Structures are given as C-alpha cells and as structure tokens.
Structure 1
Amino acid sequence: MSAAFDGALDDYIQHLRVERGLSKHTVEAYARDLLRFGAHLAEQNVSLDQVDEARVAGYLVTLSHDGLSARTQARALSAVRGFFRFLVQERRQPCDPAELLEGPRLLRKLPDILNRDEVLRLLEAPTGSKPNRVRDRAMLHMMYAAGLRVSELIELDLTDVNLEEGFVSPFGKGNKRRIVPIGSHARAAVVEYLAEVRPKWAHPASRACFVTSRGKAMTRQSFWSLVKKYARAAGITKPISPHKLRHSFATHLLAGGADLRSVQTMLGHADISTTQIYTHISGDHLREMHRRYHPRG
C-alpha cells in the first residue's frame, strides 16, 4: 500500500475512534475491510487519487469472485464509502467514488432466539452458592433482563448499576448511554453477587461490576464459554451465543405487547429499522397463537 493510503487510513481510524466514539471491535472491522481494499489497490497499481467509481465496482466484483458473501461485500462497500466521505470532508479528495454505487441485495436473516422455557432453564442453570455460580447467575440474569450486548455487560461499572431504582445504564455503540429497567429477579441475583462475592474478589480500586476470582474484569471469551456451558447443562441443543439472550429479550418484549419505540430505546438502536426485524419473529408468535386458540384458526 502507498504511503498516501496508509496516512489517510490512519487518520480515518483515529477519526472513528476519537471523534465518532465507535467501539474497539467496530473500528477494527473497518480497519480490516479498508486494509483489504488498500491491498487490492496496490495489486492493481492504483494510487488513492486514481480511485473512481469503476475501480470500486471492480473491487466488489473481485470480492464476489473470491467467494465472499453478499453481506461481506455490502460491509466492504460501506467501509469504502465512509472512508472517502471522510476524505472529501477533509478536502483531501474531490469526490466520493462510491457514493452512487449500490451494494448487493441482502436477504435479512431473522435472528435465532431462545423460547421462554429455554431462557428460564438457562437462567436457572448456575445453581448453588459457590461464588462463581452466584456471579454467573447474576450476569445471565442481567444480560437477559436488560437486553445487553456482551461488551456492555462485561464493561459495566458499579456506578452503572442502580439497584435501588432498579435500572442499569450501559454505554452502547457510539459511546451513547441509555437507561434500561431490570426486573426483580435480576435485581435479586445482582444484589446477592455484590454482597457475597464481589467484595472478596475485586481489587480495592476496581470499578468493574463483574470480576473474576483474580479480581479482573470478565472477558468476552470467558462469558461466551460460560453461556455455552450452562446451555449444555440446561439441555439446550440449538446453537447458542450470548447475543441470543439479547435477541430473545427483544422478541419476548414485542410478543408480550411492548411497543417498538420502547424496545428500540432499551436496545440502544439508532435506527428503528434495526429493531423492526424482531417484529417478524413476534408476528410468527402471534400467528401461532391465533392458529392454536382461534376457533377458526
């Protein structure tokens, strides 16, 4: 890659990290996509100021020939478009060559969820009073009660949890804070953990809500392993991930009659169209209820 591309990419990544406040994982995804684009330009011996609409279209064709999915191609185009939009705003490029390009059409995949019985079994899987079981029970309850992303759960500070008022206030994508109520079951599980376990494990200066026996904050990988372990113990055979609890949170709220705007706020979605995908699932639930209980269903 050219020095000009490297310098522009470094500046854009810094812009995403500092000015837009995107998460570490989102910034890393943008960087990977743009590094791939930069490598493609280098192979074609094309400099940054030579990139036009045809070059970007050719890059997308290359991704397709390489067997990458339509979703990956769409994400790659989004990354390139954002990169050039930044360069135009900084007056380092005269125009955005990707502005008028259309990405591949995507069939939006409905998220997999756990049904209510499966969620209950998962939440009850960490039995007993051993410290790690008490912590794990509190984390599972908190994640489902508030519909948290994994990163939001493990990055919770003590000050983000207000048990007296019964809500949690995580930092979501874009460093945006939101307030989400938690129910009595999650509240009780977290109260037990904070009273019985955290004081024994956490370092005096630690602000992390959920910690390991060594006093460190939980990692995404550790929590992922815990979810899989308890899913097996609960007899859940379908593929499982922490994010399924978030999907289940949204779907169960909508199926129970919650309005879309409230669910959008609790999930921290910037665009309501992201939340609307869950209406298809809850719609299936309503159709099943109609078929089962309506006399002419």
Structure 2
Amino acid sequence: MTAYLDWLDSQRRAARLTLENYRRDLAALQRLAGGRPPETLGAHDIRVFVARLHGEGLGGRSIARRLSAWRGLFRWLVRHRGLAANPAEGVRSPRAPRRLPKALSPDQAQMLLDADADDGVLAVRDRAMFELFYSSGLRLAELAGLNLSLAADLEEGLITVTGKRGKTRSVPVGGKAVAALREWLVQRPAMAMAGEQALFVSRRGARLGAGAIRSRLARWAREAGLGVHVHPHMLRHSFASHLLQSSGDLRAVQELLGHASIQSTQVYTHLDFQHLAKVYDAAHPRARRRDQGK
C-alpha cells in the first residue's frame, strides 16, 4: 500500500489532503483484512468489510469514499502487480438516506415577504426578486439571468426562463409578484446603466450577481426575525412543497420546476408526507395515545 501511495504522490501529483484521505481509507482496509495482503482479498471479503463498516455506524457516503480508495488501490495492483481482477469493482456502498430539502412554512414565507425594509429602491428591487422566487419556483441562475424583455409577458401573468442545459419554460407569476415587479420596473431606470438589459441590477447599474442575491435574501430573513438561514433554493423548495400540499399534482409541480425527471420532484412528496404526519400526530385521538402511555 505504501508503494501505491508513493505512486499517487509522485506520478499522479495527488494533493496532500487527498493522500491523507487515501492513507486513512487504506488503513481501514488493512484493519478489516486482519493483516492479509490486499492481493489475497476477493469480492466476498470486500462485501463483508462494507457490511462491517456499516455495522460500525459509518454512513453511506463515507463508505462510498472508502470503496473508491480501495478500487484505486486494486486497479493499481492489476496494472502494476499483475492482480487478476479488481475485487472492489462491483461492490456498492449502502444507499445513503436522501437529504430532504429544507422549506419554509407558509407562515414563515409570509413573514419574509411581508417584512418591512427601509432600503429605498433596493428594497423595491429585493421584494420583487423574492416574490418572484416564491411565486414561480425559479432557480437562482434563472432569476439572475432574467432580462428586461420579460416585462411584456407580465400582462399575461407569465414569464419565460432559461433553465439547465439551455431549456426554456414558461411559468406563471402570482399577483403579488406581478405588482412587486411593476413597482421595480418604475424604479429600475434610476439604477440601471444605459443599455443594460438585466432585469435586476446592482447599485452600479449592472446585472446583479448570484452572490449578491444570496446575501440580500439572508439579510431580509434576519431582519424579518425568521431565526433560520434562508437561501434562494429554500424559496424554490418552499414554492414546490406548498404547491404540492395544496394541489397534490406532482406532474404539474415537475413542469413548473423544470425537472427533466419526475424522480427529482418526488422528494417533495416526502416533505408533504412529513407535514401530514405532524398534523396526524397532533390531531388524531389514536395517535396521541403514544404520548399518553409514557
């Protein structure tokens, strides 16, 4: 294993942190193998080792990283030491639990969007941005890339955005977002540089960047007293989960979010179920017996 690490250092120019991670992951392989040379290990041994790591409480992502390091070692042994096959090649780590996106409650979303801001024209701009985030479920890059030309679509309550891989979609815009956008369009000429086509501009008059949008939203959340860090994607999650709770139409939510696959949208069914489960536990007389029996 030392020879392999030396090869990573000298031939692959691996970073110091990468080498430290590999050294730790390969030390775990040595421990699990009980001193047996790696050349003597088979696929069954690797599966047993994965099961042991899982039993020790190691998470799926950490196990996947260790498997990746082991595969690299065995691949090197195949190429440079004549090992017949890579025993870790077909072994998979336990599936890591999917992290559910965090969403605001409807009350929190209302607190955020109804917050009083005293930044003059900046507050008008920010309110238009955040209303549009929540109203239409836009991605950060989609909102930052909007141009002034969308103003013509507001009469129909729709805007067209360009999403991932250059795909465009039309999304509805709610009444409050339309009103906020119209107010911003009145104020925008005072900030925008001549010829600037971006819908949302900075103090300097140029297109507002993604980092600035994140910063302004986090500031609004603090001043609104939400007590949680709010980022643009959280408003997109909130849009999706609140819409699904009200409509139950997963396909419609998929189209509005611009997801290529329904699997990407199905995570919001879990958010919806969590909400329903809390309501059930709080309201159903047979659910409350769990607390009463303690």
TM normalised by structure 1 equals: 0.66
Match of 1:245 in 2: 235
Letter of the 2:169 counterpart? R
Shift of 1:149: 1.0
**Aligned residue number for residue 155 of structure 1:** 145
Of the three residues 120, 124, 143, the one matched with 1:134 is 124
Aligned 1:170-209 pairs, distance under 5 A: 170-195=161-186, 197-209=187-199
Equivalent position of 1:283 in the other structure: 273
Structure 1 residue 165 corresponds to structure 2 residue 125: no
Match of 2:25 in 1: 65
Cα gap change, 1:63/1:238 in structure 2, threshold over 3 Å: closer, same or farther?
farther
Contact kept, 8 Å, 2:137 with 2:239, in 1: the verdict is: yes
Query: Structure 1 pair 122/99, CA: closer, same or farther in 2 (3 Å)?
Result: farther
Q: Look up the equivalent residue of 2:106 and give its one-letter code.
A: R
CA distance in 2, matches of 1:184, 1:140: 13
Counterpart residue number, 2:217: 227
What one-letter code is carried by the residue in structure 2 that aligns with 1:183? G
Distance in 1, matches of 2:24 and 2:166, equals 34
C-alpha separation in 2, matches of 1:63 and 1:176: 43
Deviations 1:156-215 (A, max 9, x none): 1122452101112111111111111011000000000001x1111112311111111211
CA contact (8 A) 1:142 1:182 kept: yes
Residues 1:190 and 1:107: Cα distance change in structure 2 (over 3 Å): same
Shift, 1:239, TM fit = 2.8
Distance of 2:89 and 2:25 partners within structure 1: 23
Mapped partners of 2:131, 2:64: distance in 1: 35
Tell me if the contact between 1:63 and 1:73 (Cα under 8 Å) persists in the aligned partners. no
**Alignment partner of 1:263 out of 245, 253, 266:** 253
1:122 aligns with 2:82: no
Aligned-partner SS, 1:114:
coil
Between 239-248 and 119-128, report the one with greater CA deviation.
119-128
Post-superposition offset of 1:292: 4.3
Which residue identity is paired with 1:65? D
> TM-score normalized by structure 2?
0.67
- Whole-angstrom distance in 1 between the partners of 2:94 and 2:239: 30
Tell me, yes or no, if the aligned pair for 1:126 and 1:230 is still in contact at 8 Å. Answer: no
Q: Match of 1:284, SS?
A: helix
C-alpha RMSD over aligned residues: 3.5
Secondary structure at 1:264 match in 2: helix
CA distance in 1, matches of 2:285, 2:107: 26
Please tell me whether Structure 1 or Structure 2 has the larger radius of gyration of its CA atoms. 2
Structure 1, unaligned stretches of length 5 or more?
1-39, 47-58, 78-97
Give 3-state SS (helix, strand or coil) of 2:169's partner.
coil
CA distance change for structure 1 residues 170 and 127 in 2, over 3 Å: closer, same or farther?
A: same
Could you say if the C-alpha distance between residues 114 and 234 of structure 1 is closer, same or farther in structure 2, counting changes exceeding 3 Å?
Answer: same
Helix, strand or coil for the counterpart of 1:178? strand
Identity of aligned residues (%): 40
Provide the secondary structure at the position in 2 that maps to 1:179: strand
**Which amino acid in the other structure matches residue 170 of structure 1?**
V
Question: Structure 2: how far apart are the matches of 1:175 and 1:226?
Answer: 27
Per the alignment, in what secondary structure is the counterpart of residue 109 of structure 1? coil
Distance in 1 (CA, whole Å) between partners of 2:174 and 2:7 is 53
Contact 1:146 1:168 in 2 (8 A): no
